[in-house]
C-alpha cells in the first residue's frame, strides 16, 4: 500500500490537475478562486540554464526576473552582487555538474554580506566557480556560476534554482473548472469549464502570455471556447495531436483545435466522468468511466467525423464507488490505469492485461477523497483532494547488496569497507581475500587499490526495486575534497539486430551527474559493471566511495545512499642497485666507493675477497616488498638472496652477509669457477590491484658483468 501525506493544505476546491511526464512541476486548478497554479514537485526546480559572453560593466539577471543580480565591474576586476544578492567563491570544483542545489542552499551564506564583491578578472581558461544567493520576494533563488575565458572573450554560464515548495499562480478568471490539460511546450492550457460569456459549459483555451524565457508560464485570464457545441457537464479532457477529446454526461466528443469541428464519437453511457485514450498502430481505444464506477472500453479507430456515434456495450470493469474521479495511466506502456474513488478515499489500479483491480492507497481520514491523479513515478502519485493537494508514495526498499564490489573483490572482502569507520586503520579499505583460499589475490592480504577501478552494481536488483539512476562520488579523507564521477564508460551490449548478431561497444554516459540503471532485458557482457573510476595520486590514502540511488523521476530514494571505504595508492615504487664492492680477504670494501667495469669485467684477487652489495628499494607509502637475487658460476645462488620490506624514502641497504650469516666472499658467487658471468636483480613487484589484476606500479633493475681474477689485461689492437 502507498502512504499518503498532505502536500498543500487549506485550498478551497481543487478537482483538476495536469502533469507532463518528466516535468519538474504540475498544474492544478482551484475552482473556488478560478485560478490555475504551478506547483514544483522536486526538491529543487531549475529556473534558468544559460551561457553568454559578458562584457565589463555588464549586469546579469540570473533568474530572469525584474532585477540584476550580479555585475562584472567596469574595470573587469571584480564580480559584484546586486540587489541584496550574495556571492561565494567555490573551490575544488571542476564543473557546474558537480554543484548540487542542496549544496548551494547549505553554503555558508552568513560569512558574506549582501552586495559583496569577489575578485574576478575573467582570464581563467578553465574557469572560476561561484554560488550566488538571490533575494526573490520572500524566498531565495540559488545560482551556480562559472566565468571563463574562451578566445578573446569572457563567458559566463549559470544554472539557477528555486528550492521553494510553494506554488505559483499562472492563470485566473476561470469559472467552475472541471478538468485541465496543458499543450506540448506549455503554449496553451485547455479547461472544461463554464464559459462566462455564453453561460454554457464548453472547452476553453487560454494561450500563454509570458515569454518562453520566463521560468513560470502565465496564461490569459480571458479564455476562449474551442467549440460552440453545447456540452452537458463536460469532465475529463485528453489532448491527442490536433484533436482534444472531452467526455460529458452522455457523450465522448472530439474537437478539431484548428477548425473547431466538433463530433460526438461515443454515446450510450450516463454521468460520464473519466477518459483515457490509448493508441497502438492504427488502433485507438477510448476508456470512458461513469461516476458510478462503470468503465467502458471502446475502439474508436474507425470513427469518421459526422458519422453516427458508437454505442457502448457492456462495461469492461466495474468499481465499487458512487463518486469516481479522473483516470490516469499507471505506466508508459498504458497497460494499467489508476482510478480515484472519491467516496471511499481510495486509489484503485486496473490492470488491462489481467483484468485485476487492486487498491493502491487510501487518503487520511481528515482529508477528502481523491478526485484527480497525476503519476510522477512508479512510486509517487500526486492527487487532488478538494481542499488539499496530496501525495501517495510507495517506499522503495533498497538492499545493501546493490553495491557489489570493485572488480572481482566484493566489498565484504575489503577491510572494514562496509563498516566505513570514522577513523580508519592503516589496512582499512584494502582488499583482503585471504579468508577465501584459492580465490583471486587470496595469497596477498591487505592490497591497496589503484588505477582504473570497475565499480560493480547489482543492476537487476536495483531495477526490480524501482531504482532507475545512480550517482557516484569519491571523497579523499586526507584532503577533504569530493569529486563527482561523471566520465563515460564502455561495455559490450548484445545487438540482436546486427548482421550477424553480436556484442557491440556501447557507451554509458551520465546526464546531470546521473548514470542509468541497466534494464534486465538487455544483455551486457559485463552485466554488473556500473562505472569506471579513474584514480590518480591525488586520490592516495583513504577514500569514501558514495553511491546514491534515484527513482524514475530522478528523485533520491529514501535510505538509498551507500558509502564504502577504499584505500588507494597510485605511487610508483623505486629501486637503485650499485655494482658490488670488493675488498680483500681480511678487509671489507670501503663504504660508498663503487667500482667501474673494465671491458665489462669486475676483478678480484682471491676467492676469499669480501663482497658487499648496496641497494635501495622504496615506496612512498611504505607498502610493498623487495626481492634481491644473484646468479653466478653455479647458477642461482640462494645463499645470496634477500627479501624485505620497502622503505618510505630511498634508504641505503648494504648486504654483507649470506643467509647463513657469514660474510659474503667472491667464492660464494664463483663457486668452483675462476671466472663467471654474474647477474644481480632487484625488484619491487606491484602489490596494488584494480580489482581484476595488478596495476603496473612496480620497479626493477639489474646489473650484469663478468667476475674475473685480476689484474685485467689490455692489449692494444689495430685494425689490419
Read off the CATH number of the domain in which 338 is found: 2.130.10.10
What's the grid cell of residue 466?
524501482
In this structure, the answer to whether residues 409 and 528 fall within a common structural domain is: yes
CA dihedral for 528, 530, 536, 540, sign (positive or negative): negative
Which tens digits make up the pLDDT trace of 2-35? 888 888 888 888 989 999 988 889 999 998 889 9
Q: What's the predicted TM-score (pTM) here?
A: 0.62
CB contact set of 309 (below 8 Å; sequence gap of 6+): 251, 252, 264, 265, 266, 267, 268
pLDDT of 281 strictly over 80: no
Other beta carbons less than 10 A from residue 232's beta carbon: 11
Other beta carbons less than 10 A from residue 461's beta carbon: 16
Range of the domain at 130: 45-162
CB contact set of 338 (below 8 Å; sequence gap of 6+): 327, 328, 329, 330, 347, 348, 349, 350, 360, 373, 375, 381
> With helix as H, strand as E and coil as C, how does 171-203 read?
ECCCCCCCEEEECHHHCEEEEEEEECCCCEEEE
pLDDT at 365: 76
Of 135, 162, 189, which marks where a domain is finished?
162
**CA–CA gap between residue 496 and residue 718 (Å, rounded):** 75
Helix and strand counts by DSSP (H, E) for the chain: 3, 55
What's the grid cell of residue 666?
667472491
CB contact set of 561 (below 8 Å; sequence gap of 6+): 546, 547, 548, 549
Residue 79 counted as domain residue: yes
Residue 261 contacts residue 312 (beta carbons within 8 Å): no
pLDDT at 213: 63
Which tens digits make up the pLDDT trace of 123-163? 999 999 999 999 987 789 999 999 999 999 999 999 999 98
Residue 457 contacts residue 560 (beta carbons within 8 Å): no
**Largest interatomic CA distance in the chain:** 125
3-state class (DSSP) for residue 117? strand
In this structure, the answer to whether residues 144 and 201 fall within a common structural domain is: no
pLDDT at 227: 93
- For residue 399, name the pLDDT band (cuts at 50, 70, 90): low
Name the residue among 291, 292, 201 with its Cα closest to residue 253. Answer: 201
What's the grid cell of residue 372?
484527480
Which tens digits make up the pLDDT trace of 19-76? 998 888 999 999 888 999 999 888 788 888 999 999 999 999 998 776 899 999 999 9
Other beta carbons less than 10 A from residue 413's beta carbon: 20
Mean pLDDT value of segment 511-532: 94
In this structure, the answer to whether residues 495 and 561 fall within a common structural domain is: yes
Of 117, 138, 162, which marks where a domain is finished?
162
- For residue 398, name the pLDDT band (cuts at 50, 70, 90): low
Which tens digits make up the pLDDT trace of 698-711? 999 999 999 999 99
Residue 167 counted as domain residue: no
In this structure, the answer to whether residues 336 and 468 fall within a common structural domain is: no
In this structure, the answer to whether residues 465 and 560 fall within a common structural domain is: yes
What's the grid cell of residue 538?
591525488
pLDDT at 106: 87
In this structure, the answer to whether residues 243 and 288 fall within a common structural domain is: yes
In this structure, the answer to whether residues 290 and 364 fall within a common structural domain is: yes
**Residue for grid cell 583513504:** 542
Q: Which of 195-199, 460-464, 633-637 has the lowest mean pLDDT?
A: 633-637
In this structure, the answer to whether residues 514 and 541 fall within a common structural domain is: yes
In this structure, the answer to whether residues 532 and 441 fall within a common structural domain is: yes
Read off the CATH number of the domain in which 630 is found: 2.60.40
Residue 628 contacts residue 700 (beta carbons within 8 Å): no
Burial of 28 (0-12, 13-18, 19+ CB in 10 A): buried
pLDDT at 462: 92
| Overall domain count for the chain | 4
Complete edge-to-edge strand list for the sheet that includes strand 179-182: 179-182, 188-195, 200-207, 224-225
Residue 312 counted as domain residue: no
Residue 421 counted as domain residue: yes
In this structure, the answer to whether residues 62 and 151 fall within a common structural domain is: yes
pLDDT of 601 strictly over 90: yes
Task: Tell me phi and psi for residue 207, to 5 degrees.
Answer: -70, 155
Which tens digits make up the pLDDT trace of 84-96? 999 999 988 888 9
Helix ranges restricted to H, 355-514: 459-464
CA dihedral for 645, 650, 651, 652, sign (positive or negative): positive
pLDDT at 397: 63
> With helix as H, strand as E and coil as C, how does 350-393 read?
EECCCCCEEEEEECCCCCCCCCEEEEEECCEEEEECECCEEEEE
In this structure, the answer to whether residues 353 and 419 fall within a common structural domain is: no
> CB under 8 Å, gap of 24 or more: what pairs does 53-57 form?
53/153, 53/154, 53/155, 53/156, 54/122, 54/147, 54/154, 54/155, 54/156, 55/154
What's the grid cell of residue 623?
607498502
**CA–CA gap between residue 580 and residue 644 (Å, rounded):** 19
In this structure, the answer to whether residues 326 and 243 fall within a common structural domain is: yes
Amino acid at each position: 500500500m502507498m502512504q499518503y501525506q498532505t502536500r498543500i493544505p487549506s485550498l478551497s476546491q481543487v478537482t483538476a490537475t495536469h502533469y507532463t511526464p518528466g516535468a519538474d512541476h504540475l498544474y492544478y486548478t482551484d475552482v473556488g478562486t478560478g485560478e490555475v497554479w504551478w506547483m514544483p514537485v522536486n526538491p529543487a526546480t531549475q529556473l534558468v540554464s544559460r551561457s553568454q559572453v559578458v562584457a565589463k560593466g555588464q549586469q546579469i539577471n540570473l533568474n530572469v526576473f525584474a532585477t540584476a543580480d550580479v555585475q562584472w565591474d567596469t574595470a573587469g576586476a571584480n564580480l559584484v552582487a546586486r540587489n541584496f544578492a550574495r556571492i561565494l567563491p567555490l573551490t575544488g570544483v571542476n564543473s557546474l555538474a558537480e554543484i548540487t542545489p542542496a549544496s548551494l542552499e547549505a553554503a555558508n551564506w552568513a560569512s558574506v554580506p549582501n552586495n559583496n564583491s569577489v575578485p574576478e578578472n575573467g582570464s581563467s581558461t578553465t574557469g572560476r566557480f561561484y554560488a550566488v544567493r538571490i533575494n526573490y520576494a520572500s524566498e531565495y533563488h540559488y545560482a551556480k556560476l562559472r566565468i571563463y575565458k574562451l578566445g578573446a572573450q569572457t563567458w559566463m554560464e549559470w544554472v539557477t534554482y528555486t528550492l521553494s515548495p510553494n506554488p505559483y499562480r499562472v492563470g485566473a478568471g476561470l469559472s467552475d473548472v472541471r478538468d485541465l490539460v496543458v499543450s506540448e511546450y506549455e503554449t496553451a492550457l485547455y479547461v472544461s469549464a463554464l464559459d462566462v460569456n455564453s453561460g454554457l459549459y464548453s472547452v476553453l483555451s487560454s494561450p500563454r502570455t509570458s515569454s518562453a524565457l520566463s521560468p513560470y508560464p502565465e496564461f490569459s485570464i480571458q479564455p476562449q471556447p474551442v467549440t460552440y457545441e453545447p456540452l452537458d457537464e463536460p469532465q475529463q479532457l485528453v489532448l491527442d495531436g490536433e484533436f482534444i477529446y472531452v467526455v460529458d454526461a452522455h457523450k465522448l466528443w472530439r474537437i478539431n483545435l484548428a477548425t473547431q469541428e466538433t463530433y460526438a464519437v461515443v454515446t450510450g453511457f450516463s454521468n460520464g466522468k473519466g477518459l483515457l485514450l490509448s493508441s497502438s498502430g492504427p488502433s485507438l481505444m477510448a476508456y470512458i468511466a461513469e461516476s458510478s464506477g462503470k468503465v467502458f472500453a471502446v475502439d474508436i479507430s474507425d470513427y469518421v467525423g459526422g458519422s453516427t456515434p458508437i454505442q457502448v456495450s457492456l462495461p469492461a470493469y466495474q468499481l465499487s464507488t458512487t463518486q469516481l474521479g479522473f483516470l490516469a495511466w499507471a505506466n508508459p506502456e498504458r497497460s494499467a490505469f489508476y482510478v480515484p474513488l472519491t467516496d471511499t478515499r481510495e486509489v484503485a489500479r486496473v490492470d488491462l492485461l489481467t483484468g485485476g483491480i487492486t487498491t493502491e492507497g487510501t487518503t487520511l481520514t481528515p482529508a477528502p477523497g481523491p478526485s484527480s491523479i497525476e503519476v510522477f513515478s512508479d512510486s509517487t502519485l500526486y492527487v487532488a483532494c478538494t481542499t488539499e493537494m496530496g501525495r501517495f508514495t510507495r517506499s522503495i526498499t533498497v538492499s545493501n547488496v546493490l553495491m557489489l564490489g570493485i572488480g572481482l573483490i566484493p566489498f565484504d572482502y575489503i577491510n572494514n569497507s562496509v563498516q566505513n569507520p570514522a577513523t580508519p586503520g592503516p589496512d582499512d579499505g584494502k582488499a583482503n581475500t585471504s579468508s577465501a583460499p584459492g580465490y583471486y589475490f587470496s595469497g596477498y592480504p591487505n592490497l591497496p587499490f589503484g588505477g582504473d577501478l570497475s565499480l560493480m552494481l547489482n543492476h537487476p536488483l536495483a531495477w526490480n526495486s524501482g531504482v532507475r539512476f545512480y550517482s557516484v562520488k569519491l571523497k579523499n579523507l586526507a584532503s577533504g575534497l569530493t569529486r563527482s564521477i561523471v566520465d563515460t564508460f564502455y561495455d559490450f551490449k548484445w545487438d540482436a539486430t546486427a548482421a550477424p548478431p553480436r556484442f557491440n561497444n556501447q557507451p554509458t554516459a551520465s546526464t546531470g551527474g546521473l548514470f542509468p540503471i541497466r534494464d534486465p532485458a538487455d544483455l551486457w557482457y559485463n552485466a554488473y559493471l556500473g562505472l569506471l573510476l579513474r584514480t590518480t595520486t591525488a586520490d592516495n590514502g583513504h577514500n569514501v566511495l558514495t553511491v546514491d540511488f534515484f527513482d524514475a523521476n530522478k528523485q533520491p530514494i529514501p535510505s538509498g545512499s551507500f558509502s564504502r571505504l577504499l584505500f588507494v595508492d597510485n605511487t610508483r615504487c623505486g629501486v637503485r642497485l650499485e655494482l658490488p664492492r670488493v675488498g680483500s680477504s681480511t678487509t671489507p670494501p670501503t663504504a660508498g666507493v663503487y667500482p667501474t667495469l673494465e671491458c665489462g669485467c669486475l676483478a678480484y684477487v682471491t676467492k676469499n675477497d669480501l663482497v658487499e652489495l648496496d641497494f635501495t628499494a622504496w615506496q612512498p607509502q611504505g607498502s610493498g616488498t623487495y626481492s634481491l637475487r644473484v646468479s653466478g658460476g653455479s647458477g642461482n645462488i640462494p645463499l645470496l638472496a634477500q627479501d624485505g620490506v620497502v622503505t618510505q624514502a630511498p634508504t641505503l641497504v648494504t648486504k654483507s652477509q649470506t643467509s647463513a650469516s657469514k660474510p659474503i666472499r667472491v667464492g660464494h658467487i664463483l663457486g668452483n669457477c675462476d671466472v663467471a658471468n654474474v647477474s644481480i636483480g632487484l625488484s619491487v613487484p606491484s602489490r596494488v590491484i584494480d580489482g581484476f589484476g595488478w596495476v603496473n606500479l612496480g620497479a626493477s633493475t639489474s646489473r650484469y658483468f663478468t667476475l674475473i681474477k685480476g689484474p685485467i689485461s689490455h692489449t692494444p689492437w689495430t685494425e689490419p
